[in-house]
Amino acid sequence: MGMYECYDMTNRFYISLGFKEFEVIESIWGTDNPCQIYVMSLKQ
């Protein structure tokens, strides 16, 4: 969050659906474009 507004909009969308941020990996695409992994439990 906070790097690009279009990514922030996407992140807020997933968070609004109940996804949680699991991990941010900067080593895949670099620090300017970190890989964000979101997860959601399917078991209720």
Q: What pTM was computed for the model?
A: 0.69
Q: Which residue has the tokens 């080593």?
A: 27
Tokens of 1: 């969050």
The model's pLDDT over 1-44, given as tens digits with 9 standing for 90+, comes to 767 788 889 999 999 999 999 998 989 888 888 888 999 998 86
Which of 26, 28, 24, 27 shows the shortest CA–CA distance to 36? 24
**CA triple 22-26-27, angle to 5 deg:** 120
